[in-house]
Amino acid sequence: MSIPLPEYIPALIVAVPLLGAFLTPLISRINDKLRNIFVILVLGLNSFLVSILAYNIFTKSAQEPYIMKYVFGGSQNIDFSLPVVRILFEVDAMSIFMAIIASILVFVTVIYSWAFMKENTGLDKYYTLLLLLTAGMLGMMLTGDMFNFFVFLEITSISSAALVAFWTHKGESVEAGFKYILISTIGALFVLFAVAILYGQYDALNIAVLSNAIQYTFLDKIALVLLIVALAMKAGMVPMHMWLPDSYSRAPATVTIALVGATLASLYGVLRVIFTLYGNVLSIPAKFGIPVNVLIGWLVIPLAVLSIIVGVMMALRQTDFKRLIAFAAVAEIGYMFLAIGTGLAAMGTEYGRIALEGGIFHIINDALDVGLLFLVAGAIYYATKEWSLNEMGGLARNMKYTTIFFVIGLLAVAGMPPFNGFASKLIIYESTFQLNPILAIVAILCSILLLATFVKVFQSAFMGPKLPKFKDVKEVPRSMLFAMGILACSIIFFGLFPNLILENIVRPAADALLSNAQYITTVLGGA
Amino acid sequence: MIYNIPYIAVVCLILIGLYALVFKRNLIKMIIGITLIESGVNLFLITLGYRKGSIAPIYTSKPEGISIMSLPVPQALTLTSIVIGVAVLALMLSLVIHIYRHYGTLDVRKIGRLKE
C-alpha cells in the first residue's frame, strides 16, 4: 500500500531547508529561542517529507525498482532523446536511502546544538549555514543532472567549510576550514571538468541520457577517473584523506556530525557515477579482455584496504579524542569502499550483490556509530573543555549516561554484536572472503584493532580514579543527552533487527543501483 | 590546428594552476592557482559551445542569412560556475585573513601547527 503523493515532493525536500536557511536570520532578530524552535521545525518538516517519500518509494520498489521523477519548469512530457536541457530530480531507493541518513544526522545536529552551541555568538549564521548544508546534501542525493550535482556539491562544500571554521577565534579551526575548502574546490572543479567532457561528447547533462549514450571512449575514461578521484577525495579515501582528520577534529562536534553526512553524500556520488552513469559500459571488456567492472573493482579494493589499515593504525596512536574518531571514520569509509569494490569486481554473482548490500548497509551504520562517538566527544568537551585523552580520567563517575552512550558507540563501531556495526561488517566479511580470503582477514583484524583503540580511550577517559580538577564536572544538558539517545536507540534497533532494515531498505537501494536500465527508461520512456 | 588553441590554453591553465597549488607555499598564491584551474574549466566549457562563424544565441535579433548559433547551454553553465567561483574565492580569502590574524604569516610551512 502506498499513499498518493504530489509529484513535487522531491523539490520540496530541497526547497524547505533552503527557504528556512534564509528565514533564519530574520527570525533570529526576534528571539533566539524562537529561532532554535524554527530550525527544529523546518528540519522536522523536512524529515517528515523525506520519510513519506521514502515510505512510498520503498513500498513501490518491493516488486521492481521504482524511480520517482520530477521535472523542473513544466510538467509536460518531454522527449529526452532529443538534446533537451531540463533540470530534473530522479529519486530511486538509493537516493532516498541516503536522504534518510542525511536527515537523521542533521536533525540530531540541531537538537544537540541547542545546548552545545549556546555560549557562542553568531548563531544565526551557524543555523543558516547548517540549513544550507542540508539543502546541498539532499540536492546531491536527489538530483538527476550532472551539472546540478556539481552545483549542490559546491553548496555543500562552501557551507561546510564555513562551518568547520566557525570557531574563528581558534587558529586551527580556520586552518582546517581553509584546507577543507581548498580540497573541496579542487574536487568540484575536476567534477565540472568531467561534466564538460561528457557534455562535449554527448550533448547532454542528464544522468540517464548520458548513461544511455555512453560509449567508453578515451575521453569517457578520463571523465570517469576525474569523477571517481574527485569524489573519493571528498569522501575521505586514503591516500586523499589528509583533510578529513583536521576538519573533523577542529570543527565543533555538531558540525562534525553534519560533515559526516556531507562526506557520505560524496560517497553516494561515487556510487551513482560508477553504477548508473557508467552502468551500461561496466561489462564490456577493457584492457586484456578484463571487463571494466573488474578493473574498477580491483582499483578500488587496494585503496579501500589501505584506508582501513591507515585509518586504524593512525587512530591507535592519537591522543586527541576527536582526531582519533576521525581516523576511525577513515577506516569505516574504507570498509564501505571495500564492500563496493567487491560488489564491482564480482558483479553479477550472488556474493557480489551481497557485498554491495553490506556496503550500503554499512553507510547508515557508519553514520550512526561515528556520529554517536563524535557527539560523546563533544559532550566531554562541553563538560571538561578538554580534547586530549591524556588530560581526562574518571569521567564515568560524573557522566553516567555519556559513558553508556560511549560504550554503545564503541561496541557498534568495532563491529560487536548485538549492535548494528556487527550486522553490516559480518556481511562484508562473508562476501569479501569469497572474493579473496586475505581481504576478509585484513578487515577482521583491523576491526579488532579498532576495538582495542576504543577500549584504550574508554580506559583513559572514563575509568580510573577521580581527578580533582573534574570535581565539578556534571552530566551534560538534556538536549544533548536526547540527541545521543536518538542515535543510540537506532544503533540498538538496527543491531537487533538487521533483517528488517536489510530487506525493506537496503535491498531496494542495492537493486536500484544495479538496475541501471530502469533508471534510463524512467526518463527516456517519457512516462 | 588553429581551432585547437583554446583547448591547449585550457590544459596550460589547469597545469599552471596545479603547479601553483602543489609547489607554492604562500596561501594567496595557492588561491590564485585555484582560480587559474577554474578559468581553465570555464574556458573549456565556453569553447565547447563555440561554432565557427556563429552568432550569439539570441533568436529575436538574428540577422538574415546566418543560421549558425553558438550553443547557449555551456554559456549558462559557465555563468553559474563563475558565480560559484566568486563565492568560493570570497570564502577562501576571508579564511586567509583570519589565518593571517592568528599566525602573522601566510607561509604554509610556518603555519603547519596541525601536525599528526
d(CA A448, CA A29): 51
Digit-coded pLDDT (tens) for A506-524: 999 998 888 888 888 877 7
Nearest-CB residue to A200 (from B48, B81, B96):
B48
- The three cell numbers of residue B72 are 547557449
Nearest-CB residue to A186 (from B34, B99, B102):
B34
Pick from A129-143, A234-248, B64-78: least confident? B64-78
Nearest-CB residue to A192 (from B81, B92, B98):
B81
pLDDT-based confidence at residue A432 (cuts at 50, 70, 90):
very high
What value, to the nearest 5°, has the Cα angle with vertex A117 and ends A115 and A120?
130
Q: Is-contact A384 A358, C-beta < 8 A?
A: no
Q: Is A276 helix (H, G, I), strand (E, B) or coil?
A: helix
Residue A347 lies in a domain: yes
Instruction: Report helix, strand and coil shares of chain B as percent, to nearest 5.
Output: 70, 5, 25
Count of residues making up chain A: 527
d(CA A21, CA A24): 5
Residue A98 lies in a domain: no
The domain total for chain A is 1
Is there a contact between B21 and A186 if contact means CB atoms under 8 Å apart? yes
Q: Is-contact B101 A169, C-beta < 8 A?
A: no
Is there a contact between A189 and B34 if contact means CB atoms under 8 Å apart? yes
Contacts of A405 (CB under 8 A, 6+ apart): A372, A375, A376, A379, A484, A485, A487, A488
Instruction: Say if residue A322's pLDDT is above 80.
Output: yes
DSSP code, position A465? S
Is there a contact between B95 and A161 if contact means CB atoms under 8 Å apart? yes
Q: Is A338 helix (H, G, I), strand (E, B) or coil?
A: helix
Is there a contact between A154 and B88 if contact means CB atoms under 8 Å apart? yes
Global pTM? 0.93
B51 shares contact with chain A (CB less than 8 Å)? no
What is the predicted ipTM? 0.94
Burial of A430 (0-12, 13-18, 19+ CB in 10 A): middle
Q: Is-contact A443 A411, C-beta < 8 A?
A: no
Nearest-CB residue to A168 (from B73, B87, B98):
B98
Q: Is A86 helix (H, G, I), strand (E, B) or coil?
A: coil
Average of per-residue pLDDT across A47-70: 87
B77 shares contact with chain A (CB less than 8 Å)? yes
Residue A297 lies in a domain: yes
Residue A358 lies in a domain: yes
Give A328→chain B minimum CA distance, Å: 14
Percent of chain A at pLDDT > 90 equals 56
Partners of A206 in beta bridges:
A145
Pick from A103-117, A392-406, B54-68, B82-96: least confident? B54-68
Instruction: Say if residue A470's pLDDT is above 90.
Output: no
Nearest-CB residue to B98 (from A174, A192, A193):
A174
DSSP code, position A170? S
Indicate if the alpha-carbon torsion angle A399, A400, A401, A405 is positive or negative. positive
Burial of A170 (0-12, 13-18, 19+ CB in 10 A): middle
Structural domains of chain B in order of their starting residue, each with its CATH number = 2-53+70-110 (1.10.287.3510)
Give B61→chain A minimum CA distance, Å: 22
Digit-coded pLDDT (tens) for A272-316: 999 999 988 888 887 777 888 888 899 999 999 999 999 999 998
Is there a contact between A199 and B14 if contact means CB atoms under 8 Å apart? no
**Pick from A296, A279, A172: nearest CA to A232:** A296
Instruction: Say if residue A74's pLDDT is above 70.
Output: no
pLDDT-based confidence at residue A527 (cuts at 50, 70, 90):
very low
A287-320 CB burial, b ≥16 within 10 A, e <16? eeeebbbbbbbbebbebbbbbbbbbbebbeebeb
pLDDT-based confidence at residue B115 (cuts at 50, 70, 90):
very low
d(CA A134, CA A155): 10
Residue A392 lies in a domain: yes
Digit-coded pLDDT (tens) for B18-61: 999 999 999 999 999 999 999 999 999 999 888 887 888 787 77
Gyration radius of chain A over CA positions: 22
What value, to the nearest 5°, has the Cα angle with vertex A490 and ends A486 and A491?
115
Contacting residues of B for A165, CB less than 8 Å apart? 95, 98
d(CA A365, CA A104): 12
Work out whether strand A68-71 and strand A88-91 pair parallel, antiparallel, or are unpaired: antiparallel
CA A22 centroid distance within chain: 25
Interface mutation vs chain A, best among B14, B91, B103, most A CBs within 10 Å: B91
Contacting residues of B for A199, CB less than 8 Å apart? 45, 48, 73-74, 77
Report the residue of chain B nearest A175, measured CA to CA. Answer: B99
pLDDT for A264 equals 94
Instruction: Say if residue B116's pLDDT is above 70.
Output: no
Average pLDDT value for chain A: 89
d(CA B14, CA A401): 53
Residue A155 lies in a domain: no
Contacting residues of A for B91, CB less than 8 Å apart? 158, 161-162, 181
pLDDT for A103 equals 94
Q: Is B68 helix (H, G, I), strand (E, B) or coil?
A: coil
Backbone angles phi, psi at A515, to 5 degrees: -95, 75
**Pick from A274, A4, A225, A258: nearest CA to A110:** A258
Q: Is-contact A133 A159, C-beta < 8 A?
A: yes
Partners of A69 in beta bridges:
A90
pLDDT for A79 equals 67
pLDDT for B50 equals 84
d(CA A289, CA A292): 9
Q: Is B55 helix (H, G, I), strand (E, B) or coil?
A: strand
Average of per-residue pLDDT across B79-90: 94
pLDDT for A77 equals 64
Is there a contact between A196 and B45 if contact means CB atoms under 8 Å apart? yes
Residue A481 lies in a domain: yes
B87 shares contact with chain A (CB less than 8 Å)? yes
Is there a contact between B113 and A174 if contact means CB atoms under 8 Å apart? no
Which has the higher per-residue pLDDT, A524 or A212? A212
Is there a contact between A189 and B38 if contact means CB atoms under 8 Å apart? yes
Which residues constitute the domain of residue A345?
287-496
Neighbours of A392 (CB within 10 A): 19
d(CA A514, CA A353): 9
B74 shares contact with chain A (CB less than 8 Å)? yes
Is there a contact between B74 and A196 if contact means CB atoms under 8 Å apart? yes
DSSP code, position A477? P
d(CA A323, CA A310): 13
B22 shares contact with chain A (CB less than 8 Å)? no
- The three cell numbers of residue A189 are 572543479
Instruction: Say if residue A175's pLDDT is above 70.
Output: yes
- The three cell numbers of residue A37 are 524552535
Is there a contact between B114 and A151 if contact means CB atoms under 8 Å apart? no
Pick from A449-453, A480-484, A513-517, B66-70: least confident? B66-70
Residue A246 lies in a domain: no
Give me the amino acid identity at B36.
L
Q: Is-contact A176 A164, C-beta < 8 A?
A: yes
Digit-coded pLDDT (tens) for A7-38: 888 999 999 999 999 999 999 999 889 999 99
Average of per-residue pLDDT across A172-182: 91
pLDDT for A171 equals 85
Partners of A91 in beta bridges:
A68
pLDDT for A127 equals 94
pLDDT for B58 equals 80
Average of per-residue pLDDT across A377-388: 88
d(CA A113, CA A110): 5
